[in-house]
Amino acid sequence: MSNGFYKNRRLKSFLFLSACFLIAIIPHLYKIGVYFKVILILSLVIAFYGLTVISRNFRRKNVSNTLSNLFTNKELPILDILVAARDEENVIERLVERLFNLDYPINKLNIYIIDDGSSDNTPLILGRLSKKFQKLKVVSRSPNAGGGKSGALNYALQFTHGEWVLVLDADAQLKKDSLIRLFSFVDEGDWSAVQLRKSVTNGSKNFLTSCQSMEMAMDTIFQYGRLSVAGVSELRGNGQLIKKDTLLACGSFNEDTVTDDLDLSLRLLLSKSKIGILWDPPVMEEAVENLNALLAQRQRWAEGGLQRFFDYGDQLVTDKIDYLQKFDLTYFFILQYALPIVSIFDLVLSIALYDSPIYWPISITAFVLSGIAFWYGSTCKSEVPVLQKGNFLMIFLSVFYLSHWFLVIPWVTLKMSIFPKKILWRKTLHTGV
């Protein structure tokens, strides 16, 4: 992590919030005629790069099932699977059973379940499963061990001896041939890390889960496109494969952040380690089913996303990354973090000053790009679970659903500016659906 100024997240949050306010208020106060033209030009630039990123998916190739025949038992690497589990009694037995039924040589597979201070029946279930599966390694930590999920993963990492590490959530589900096809993909691309496309198992449950299903497909569309254009891609926690030597060289999992995956993604980029994105086979997980759980999850994601830019901002302007990567990171930082805050300030100022909003062209451009990615993601051929086909109404509602970020980002940034942060593991409840 960077030292000095870049480590002061509260200060940086305040400065970022202040900068967004100034950007919002200046055109309202000074009525600069040319300003709106600048906004329109910026919108066109955003539209052009966004469409370029999406269009790169037209070249995407999936890993064929036949590629599994390329590997023999001797050629496959030793793989360590790490699962941090706290109060996962609803899903942990299903996970372990399915992991040991995967098509992968048992002599090259080590499964570590970290019981991170569970207060439910998770320890009892794991104790029983460890007797059934001799290769299952149960690692226990006390409830106050610290470091959150990252601390749990780092604790187990010291016991591993494989070439690769696969991180899964307790509700993860994989196809039987996922691991062999994953390493076929690694062999083709010479990746240092790979992120499986995330897909939800309960997409038909309600409106929120349907939107999350399409959102994950949209996210992969953007991730693959960014990788193809600028060489920038991100890990997503569940279903991330990392070469162990690369992970250790980057400092393992950061225990001073709420989203270790996003943090590690930037450190891999700075070390010039490539992250591949694999569409099929996916890693399946549960989508949250109610608004309170969704907002809690998104606040954590928003905070972690901002933390990484605050922590590594000094390094992102150096020659550690090239100019196209700098542009890509700036582009998505503006859309994901700056735009929601500026737009909220712009709206409030418009109401207070009886003025017209200024930044609506950029917001509309961002939503239109999301809609196109939603549509394309829903039309792509995909393995189970089959993606919900996006008709016009569903795509419109999914784009509307994304507007929750315009509330979450400003609120989280404000909180980060005021309150010191204690790293806690606020896990998502898994029900086993």
What does the longest C-alpha to C-alpha distance in the chain come to? Answer: 74
The DSSP result for 339-401, as a single string, is HHHHHHHHHHHHHHTT---SSHHHHHHHHHHHHHHHHHHHHS--PSSPPPP--HHHHHHHHHH
Residue 80, beta-bridge partner list: 110, 165
The count of other CB atoms within 10 Å of the CB of residue 240 is 22
Q: Which domains are assigned to the chain?
A: 4-59+316-418 (no CATH), 65-209+234-290 (3.90.550.10)
As a 3-state breakdown, the chain gives helix, strand, coil percent values, each rounded to 5, of 55, 10, 30
The count of other CB atoms within 10 Å of the CB of residue 97 is 12
Estimate to the nearest angstrom the gap between the alpha carbon of 221 and the chain centroid. 13
Coil, helix or strand for 144? coil
Q: pLDDT 10s per residue in the chain (433 long)?
A: 444 444 689 999 999 999 999 999 999 888 777 888 899 999 999 999 999 999 999 877 655 444 544 566 668 999 999 999 998 999 999 999 999 999 999 999 999 999 988 888 999 999 999 999 988 999 998 888 878 899 999 999 999 999 999 999 999 999 999 999 999 999 888 899 999 999 999 888 899 999 999 999 999 999 999 999 999 999 999 999 999 999 999 999 999 888 999 999 999 999 999 999 999 999 999 999 999 999 999 999 999 999 999 999 999 999 999 999 999 999 999 999 999 999 999 999 999 998 889 999 999 999 999 999 999 988 888 887 666 666 788 888 889 999 999 999 999 999 999 886 655 555 665 555 6
Inter-CA distances, 201 with 181, 192, 218, 221, 296, Å: 21, 28, 16, 19, 20
Phi, psi of 102 (to 5 degrees): -70, 150
Estimate to the nearest angstrom the gap between the alpha carbon of 29 and the chain centroid. 38
- pTM for the model stands at 0.89
193-200 and 240-243 strand pairing: antiparallel
Inter-CA distances, 70 with 64, 108, 163, 214, 336, Å: 11, 17, 19, 33, 41
Contact between 154 and 255 (Cβ < 8 Å): yes
Residue 340: asked if its preceding bond is cis (omega within 30°), the reply is no
Residue 137 to residue 112: CA distance in whole angstroms: 5
